[in-house]
A = this chain, B = another copy of it.
Amino acid sequence: MAKNAAARGPTIRDVAALAGVHPSTASRALDASLPGRVAEPTASRVRAAAHALGYVPDPAARSLRTRRSGLVGVVIPDLTNPVLAPIVQGVEETLRAAGFGCLLADTDNDPAREASAIDELEARRCEGLVIATARRRSAAVERLAKRGPAAVLVTRGLDTGALPLVAADDAQGVAAAVRHLAALGHRHLAHLTGPRDLSTTVRRARAVRESAKALEPPDVDVVVHHGSGFTIADGRRLARALLSAHPEVTAIVAGNDMIALGCLDAMAGAGLRCPEDVSLVGHNDMPFVDRLEPALTTVAIPQRALGVRAAEVLLGRLAGEAVATEQLVLPTQLVVRGSTAPPPPAARRS
């Protein structure tokens, strides 16, 4: 016979009784944020009683009274993308240190699931939301600017800029990548992007184009192909089409590392070597891309710091800080490894 109901723990009344005070006094004594509201001898008696009984306040009762749940929702597109792990770690660690619990929701890159995840998290009365899934326009996310729990976006922002965003300086990183390739002698670049409805895609695509134009002399051309996802399969598809349509291209700037992995597949499938025939640059420097063959040259983003800062911005809002919609930009860095090299002496076209 399973005793299903959890054994009830001691309540504040038990603590108060043991300390010989009124429950409300016990409550005050245990509230660290109100020092001096209770005489010290009394307070320490209460603390001793609480400790002796192993008292743990009931969050439901407290939450019902205070209207605060101590919960934050974290909405992510796909946990198996390794770049997310350090970000989530940073978020979780920072939030936990501040006394918040992290409710995780993986949307599997599905906008419908994003919307329902946000609804659910809101139904659970999360005080705040960290959202890593935002598309440039998304009713579900945009609504949070007007109504609902405080929200902070990571990496992916809204076109309206209506919500605070903590993102990496992709433009700078991508520009460095373009200059790196141009310096190696590449004159025909391609940029294979993720979905156009993500801010990261447009930021990076614009940076590729503009940094190519800004070269001295401006003799590097760029072909941009847009993909429909940030997956290896998307990268494979894109690269396959690109390589056959544009044999003049000798270097690819991938929208992220997953797409870059797909590019490697497509190159191998087309009998092209990386970097001898085609150079490749990724984006994110996600774990393990330094161990590929060839080791991937990529734009490193401060993964953990993104998570930490996003959590901090959220905590600031929850603490009632000024409601300025911040757009925080963290530095990136081009990490040159083995996947970039000078172009082959002759054009690839056979």
Interface residues of A (CB under 8 A from B): 2, 4-7, 56-61, 63-64, 67, 69-71, 74, 79-80, 82, 85-86, 88-89, 92-93, 96, 101-106, 120, 122-125, 127, 147, 149, 261, 264, 287-288, 291-293, 320, 323
Interface pair A6/B293, CB less than 8 Å apart: no
Q: List 14 A-B contacts (CB under 8 A).
A: A6-B127, A6-B149, A59-B123, A60-B63, A64-B64, A80-B287, A82-B287, A92-B105, A92-B106, A93-B106, A96-B105, A101-B103, A102-B103, A292-B293
Given A7-B147, A291-B292, A104 contacting B92 (CB threshold 8 A): yes
Given A64-B58, A86-B80, A124 contacting B105 (CB threshold 8 A): no
User: Within the assembled complex, what's the spacing in Å between the Cα atoms of A63 and B64?
Assistant: 9
Residues from chain B with Cβ under 8 Å of A125 in the complex: 6, 58-60
Interface pair B106/A89, CB less than 8 Å apart: yes
Shortest distance from the beta carbon of A10 to any chain B beta carbon, whole Å: 13
Residues from chain B with Cβ under 8 Å of A147 in the complex: 7
Known: A82-B287, A101-B103. 6 other contacts (CB 8 A): A79-B92, A82-B85, A82-B288, A88-B104, A92-B105, A288-B288
Interface pair B69/A80, CB less than 8 Å apart: no
Interface pair B93/A123, CB less than 8 Å apart: no
Residues from chain B with Cβ under 8 Å of A92 in the complex: 79, 104-106
Contact of A85 among B71, B79, B102 (CB under 8 A): B79
Interface pair B6/A67, CB less than 8 Å apart: yes
Residues from chain B with Cβ under 8 Å of A287 in the complex: 80, 82
User: Within the assembled complex, what's the spacing in Å between the Cα atoms of A285 and B7?
Assistant: 42
Shortest distance from the beta carbon of A225 to any chain B beta carbon, whole Å: 23
User: Within the assembled complex, what's the spacing in Å between the Cα atoms of A103 and B67?
Assistant: 19
Interface pair B67/A64, CB less than 8 Å apart: no
Shortest distance from the beta carbon of A72 to any chain B beta carbon, whole Å: 10
Interface pair B56/A60, CB less than 8 Å apart: no
